[in-house]
Amino acid sequence: MTSTEQGRRKYDELAERYEEIFPYVADVGQLLVDYARPERGSRVLDVGAGRGAVARAALAIGCQVTAIDASKGMVDRLAADFPEIDARQMDAGALDFPDGSFDLVAAGFVIQVLPDADVALAEFRRVLAPGGMLALSLEKQTVGRLRWLFELAGEFFGAPVPSDDSPGGMTSDQLNALIESAGFIDIATDSVEMPVPMEDPAALWDWLTPRGLTDAVAALPEDKAEQFRLRFIAGAEHMQANGGISLDFKATLHRAGTR
């Protein structure tokens, strides 16, 4: 099974409870639509729509919404919940739409997980009409009070432990450079900060599952996997007892136009 197929299967499994595990998605989806400011009647494409955080925010202000996702489970659930939305299973890097089909292409927390972000951005540019708008949100990895977890991952998986100044992952400047290279203009950026509390260690584990934790632990020898689970629970319980389990969630919103 390819990594893309693995990703699709993970999100198929998460379709029913996606926004319970990722509680900030709906809020940032609304913020992204507010940032893009599409007019009523605008043709909107939501890429990597998931359960529809961006799509339903656009629908609520009278936009004509098409939503795509690589996960069939996500698409099926979105179509059932919002029959007004044209929901389709599709890859972000190979959009099955004619040139100039949309006034706004939006993608919430998608661009950083795509294997070829430049290819996807070129497709977004192609399907936008002249004068159209691109709107993206980018999750910013933070260390904060989760340093114990990064250090644990470094010990068991050899993952680099990021610093607070350079936490790793795609940066907003890197994304803006990609957006500019794809031919967009008038690039603007804004920041979002919101703490995301986790109820217990199990909730933190669930949050990390689609980010590869379960697969990484499963690849360890059985004794090492059990050691990791015990250390993870101990670390999360310590965090819970000392201020609670909370993610220092940050994101950037990106907006750009077309000629």
Instruction: Write the CATH number for 15.
Output: 3.40.50.150
More confident residue, 59 or 2: 59
Q: Say whether pLDDT at 209 is over 90.
A: no
More confident residue, 15 or 125: 125
Ranking 12-21, 59-68, 87-96 by mean pLDDT, the lowest is 12-21
User: What integer is the mean pLDDT of 218-242?
Assistant: 97
Ranking 13-17, 115-119, 181-185, 194-198 by mean pLDDT, the lowest is 13-17
User: What integer is the mean pLDDT of 92-102?
Assistant: 98
Query: 202 lies in a domain?
Result: no
Q: Is 30 left (phi over 0), alpha (psi -120 to 50) or beta?
A: alpha
At 20 the pLDDT is 59
Question: Which of 80, 87, 37, 81 is closest to 62 using CA atoms?
Answer: 37
Q: How many domains does the chain have?
A: 1
Containing structural domain, residue 41? 3-141+164-196+248-257
Q: Say whether pLDDT at 168 is over 90.
A: no
Query: 136 lies in a domain?
Result: yes
Q: How is residue 149 written in tokens?
A: 């977890």
pTM of the model: 0.80
At 1 the pLDDT is 26
Q: What is the pLDDT of residues 10-54, one digit of tens each?
A: 665 655 555 555 667 778 999 999 999 999 999 999 999 998 999
DSSP, collapsed to helix, strand or coil, labels residue 178 as helix
Query: 234 lies in a domain?
Result: no
User: 99 CB contacts (<8 Å, ≥6 apart)?
Assistant: 126, 127
More confident residue, 182 or 197: 182
